[in-house]
Structure 1
Amino acid sequence: MHFLRCRSSLRSCQMGPVIMSRWLTTLLTFFLLQNVLAIEVNPEDETSLKNAAKTVATTMIDYYNARDSKAIPGKFDETWWEGGSMFMTLIQYWYLTGDSQFNDAIQEGMYWQKGDDNDFFPSNYSQYLGNDDQVFWGLAAITAGELNFPERDGEPSWISLAEGVFNGQIPRWDMTACGGGLRWQIWPYQDGYNLKNAISNGGLFQLSARLALYTKNATYAEWAEKIWDWSHSTPLLRKTWVIADTTTNAANCKDHGDHQWTYNYATYIMGAGYMHNYVRLPCPQASIVKTNRHYRPMVLKANGSKACQDCSRHLNSFFPKSGDHQIISDITCEPIDMCDRNQKTFKTYFTSWIGFMSLIVPTNVTAEVMGKFKASAVAAGQQCSGGSDGKHCGIRWTKKSEWDGTMGLEQQMSVLGVLNAVMVPFTADGPFNADNGGKSKSDPHGGHNPEGTIGPAPITSGDRVGAGILTAVFVLVWVGAISWMLVGGK
């Protein structure tokens, strides 16, 4: 192949090898950089983790600032919910590192998207939003409240915004099919309206549990109980310790879409951690929770049981052989390179949520949990060798030092999530609540609440009839099995 043709003189032909040499040198350097440049992560060193997280977060914000919709704070191109999840991850980053350089962007985006009724349901996008879209902004708001993220004068408190989401979603609890549950989508013309899914219901369960612990308002705990019981009565939270992604109204929620996603498990585990903490409170409010039910993430009482083995098998699948059973992977899409932009964020929540949960449910297995997250963080850093600067991250961390060829805001967010999780043990405080230093004020009337009631109507005794003892056993065994998986199920 001739890379340079001779034209009018021998001199022009003789330049060919020189130009060819430079071209090869540039190309060789580029490919070498992909293997040499990466983000070094020492999971035992806080400074190393903070430096790595800063690099990842800065690149993520570069994507955010370069988006076509940058004139609208908090709005991403062709998606809305990811703004809430990114801000949630950045709030965690701020809390763990003390780096406040992104705080203005977080505040601006969060307040801009809060909607006219302070419930993260802005009229510009409400016609196509799903329940899961809205709840992620609520989870971002309660994260801000729990971590004492700065509030602006004249704006609603973070906790009141989270309560606004709760008050907006509870009226959508659908009794027309399946005995309850949230639909995936809000409007009948949307694809997915006839589905009820794990992340919408699990997200509201988690939000309710966190509001219960922060505010000590028993209504939130009652709804957390109700959502858990309903989920457990459907394939979304099965006795076999599998979380289905979806179920349909047409089948009265007896069928199940079984794509396995990390964030579905994480949202129920996170909420269970908060409810475990809530029921231990020495206060009358905690008595409304069934006394025979204790949400016990990371305990070992069910160790060795068949149920534990079943649970560990399902959860271990997210740590596949390709990563030496230590590196997390969203196995439904990553091995076949078919993850869409939403799915590329899912590991963010599994790692950061469970990492933060270790602060409120400390046990002797925390080190084992972090062991897998540490290995994942190191591998994630090695994947950050893409782009001209060699610092853009891929999503397939199991490929380790071989960059997978992808890059984007979502990839950066996932890496930041696992780095956040590994930084958690270096802090001794938080999450805060109204009784232990939380500064954000509760407003149970938050959001649009025309009846003026404090939250939704109280749950009746009939509402409490459901899974009963079976649910209690389920909680104890399932969350205990998580520990067995992390400690003995390797």
Structure 2
Amino acid sequence: MQTCFQAGYEPARRRPSAQPANPQRVSYSLSSCCSLFTSVHHPLQVTTRTPVSPWQLGTWRAVPPLTRLPSFFPSSFTLPTPRTDPSPLFLAPHHPPTPASISSSVVSRFSSPGLVWPRLVLHSTRTVRRQRHRAPSAHFAIADPTRHRPRTPTTNTDTDTDFHDSQPHRHAHRHLTCSVLAPNFAMRSFLATGVAASLIASAGLVRAQSQYSIDSDDAIKKTAASVAWDMLQYYNGNETGATVGILPGPPPAGDYYWWEAGAMWGTLMDYWRCTGDTSYNDLIMAAMQHQAGPDADYQPSNVTLSLGNDDQGFWGMSAMLAAELKFPDPASDKPGWLALAQAVFNTQANPDRHDKTCNGGLRWQIPFSNNGYNYKNSIANGCFFNLGARLARYTGNSTYADWAETTWDWMYGVGYIDNDNYHVYDGAHVEKNCTDINKAQFSYNTGVLLQGAAHMYNYTKGAKKWEDRLTKLVDATIDVFFPNDIAFEISCEDHDTCTTDMLSFKGYTHRWMSVATKIAPFTSEKILPVLATSAEAAIKQCTGGDNGRLCGFKWKSGKYDGKTGVGQQMNVLAAVSSLLIENTPPPVTAKSGGTSKGNSDAGSKGDGSFQNHNKPVTTGDKAGAGIITFIVLATACGIFGWMSFGE
């Protein structure tokens, strides 16, 4: 068997400096008959000849002979991190080809536990009017997307199978011969001549069955690795000309607001914590440092005019997470993770952010001209509470705890935390003295308070009031957002009114609840079984996209809902990764191994970029009650008839 051709990839956008004279190419061998196996959505192997340098990160494109590539093969792919050795990459096909597909029963044998099929070498022939034309051979590796090296083959099995071509080629039909290099065990007969009919009959079944498993720790890690990889295909910040650290947006330039990238990097930190996979740590480091801004307080100039307290808070919580997890410290001339978290907290504790309306509390937006400046909501104050509680536990400084207590008391007193059932409502307007409470409930509002309360319980060494508060929050969260123990966004999911922001809330709730079990262990009995059931439902619906494994939003239905994105992938990544939380130590503190460099004066420059932002609200400044973005009002007002609106 001879190789049909060799083609390769080269960087689509080359960096201006530190560039080798002869760009490296990644070569591979394949042919159209690969469709037999790519139709089951296994990735194709691309092997680099040499290590990949940092300058070569970003999008790579196919180079000639491109015209000889099968249509389903990717014309480009992205390298998010340097590769220090020439180990294989695995690329998913762009779309499933139409010829015969392998049956699910055969697929299960290929991917059963303990079995790795390292390589299949295929060639095909076509008979037309008794003339035989030999098609090229194809080399294809079946392996998991975590990019482990295939095992060395030890035996050889040959089997011939006939397939009838659906195209009218004058009685032409195609013969495929598969030479399977398999591990050393008896499995010579599983591709018998009678399997062809079952392969064709079951072609439609493959896409509906999830490729993912969480039956063991290894399976969880492999599933999480694949979901993380697919999530990062939406990130282009490492490409030339793109902004490091952010997702495409904000609208209309792209789907995502600035805050969601900060949440994504935090999710990837938790992924690293739970799985030990360091593949994306360099991306995380670069993003978290670049977006810190000139004053190292997560107020970069490119988002200043649209900045919300919750937006800044999400980046601050991710910085705090880096300190708690002992994520690799930045260079000595860069701000430490603890200092970045302190800077966010200090800017939000600054008197410039607080006023007498509603007797306290943070506004949603920071610039007075923003829609939503007249709205004080749970997520802005919840992030501030969460960050204060975690800083108190990490540093032992009671000032942070005092702020957390004050924020909790304000939210409880104003009625954002329901005094009877601990349901957490979205917010209210300052013109109404925060009495027109918008009773929409979103899981991340409850989740951010739950994690903060767990830290206060730990900081106070199990104080009864924090035990009671945490217990009620856990009960309320499970009752409202986990019907049948499966995550469900009650205010928008059933009616398809969830905004892009809301499509990411389930993942944060999974992450925050799992962490609570490490610092308030009494919650484990209630939380962990629910998260396990929810994660199982999450992976079952990951059957979408061209690779047959992208995730949707509606876990309860058990079916892919046809829409995917960063939020949907991030949700499932968080749910799956969090299953390994029991294997991890609790978040560290400064006294229990924390190494992050702090600065209690960080963020002391205040809000120079927001001069006069406390200007009295006028009619022109008023905005509809919203969550993350005011667009929710336009999309959901028909559903949430009970919402409160500004005059």
Fold in common (TM above 0.5):
yes
Do structure 1's residue 51 and structure 2's residue 237 form an aligned pair? Answer: no
1:166 aligns with one of 345, 352, 375? 345
Structure 2 counterpart of 1:200? 380
Secondary structure at the aligned position of 2:503 is classed as helix
Relative contact order higher in (CA < 8 Å, ≥ 6 apart): 1
Secondary structure at the aligned position of 1:294 is classed as helix
- Give the 3 Å change call, closer, same or farther, for CA 439–68 of structure 1 in structure 2: closer
The one-letter amino acid of 1:119's match is D
Structure 1 counterpart of 2:542? 384
Measure how far apart 1:73 and its partner are: 0.8
Deviations, residues 344-381 of structure 1 (Å, cap 9, x unaligned): 11011111011011111112x51331111111111111
Measure how far apart 1:96 and its partner are: 1.1
Structure 2 counterpart of 1:470? none
8 Å CA contact 1:132, 1:203 repeated in 2:
yes
Secondary structure at the aligned position of 1:317 is classed as helix
Q: Superposition RMSD on alpha carbons, in Å?
A: 2.8
Deviations, residues 298-339 of structure 1 (Å, cap 9, x unaligned): 65xxxxxxxx6x98467413123xxxx121111211112222
Measure how far apart 1:413 and its partner are: 0.3
- Give the 3 Å change call, closer, same or farther, for CA 297–69 of structure 1 in structure 2: farther
2:209 aligns with one of 36, 41, 64? 36
Structure 2 counterpart of 1:136? 314
The one-letter amino acid of 2:550's match is H
Structure 1 counterpart of 2:579? 422
2:479 aligns with one of 312, 316, 323? 316
Measure how far apart 1:37 and its partner are: 3.9
Structure 2 counterpart of 1:237? 417
Q: Distance in 1 between matches of 2:401 and 2:315?
A: 20
Structure 1 or 2: more strand by fraction: 2
Q: Distance in 2 between matches of 1:375 and 1:292?
A: 30
1:440 aligns with one of 589, 596, 601? 596
Structure 2 counterpart of 1:407? 564
Deviations, residues 258-286 of structure 1 (Å, cap 9, x unaligned): 111110001111111111111129xxxxx
Q: Distance in 1 between matches of 2:392 and 2:404?
A: 8
For the pair shown, which has the larger CA radius of gyration, 1 or 2?
Answer: 2
The one-letter amino acid of 1:317's match is V
Do structure 1's residue 155 and structure 2's residue 334 form an aligned pair? Answer: yes
- Give the 3 Å change call, closer, same or farther, for CA 174–16 of structure 1 in structure 2: farther
Structure 1 or 2: more helix by fraction: 1
Q: Distance in 1 between matches of 2:227 and 2:241?
A: 20
Structure 1 counterpart of 2:403? 223
- Give the 3 Å change call, closer, same or farther, for CA 450–34 of structure 1 in structure 2: closer
Do structure 1's residue 277 and structure 2's residue 448 form an aligned pair? Answer: no
- Give the 3 Å change call, closer, same or farther, for CA 47–233 of structure 1 in structure 2: same
Structure 2 counterpart of 1:352? 511
Matches within 5 A, 1:260-275: 260-275=441-456
Q: Distance in 2 between matches of 1:99 and 1:174?
A: 41
Structure 1 counterpart of 2:57? none
Unmatched tracts of structure 1, length 5 or more:
1-13, 20-24, 282-290, 300-307, 452-490
Structure 1 counterpart of 2:17? none
Q: Distance in 2 between matches of 1:193 and 1:279?
A: 34
Structure 2 counterpart of 1:370? 528
- Count of aligned pairs: 408
- Give the 3 Å change call, closer, same or farther, for CA 243–313 of structure 1 in structure 2: closer
Q: Distance in 1 between matches of 2:602 and 2:336?
A: 9
Structure 2 counterpart of 1:474? none
The one-letter amino acid of 1:431's match is P
- Give the 3 Å change call, closer, same or farther, for CA 418–317 of structure 1 in structure 2: same
> Which runs of 4 or more aligned residues in structure 1 lie more than 6 Å from their structure 2 counterparts after TM superposition?
16-19, 25-30, 66-70
Measure how far apart 1:50 and its partner are: 1.0
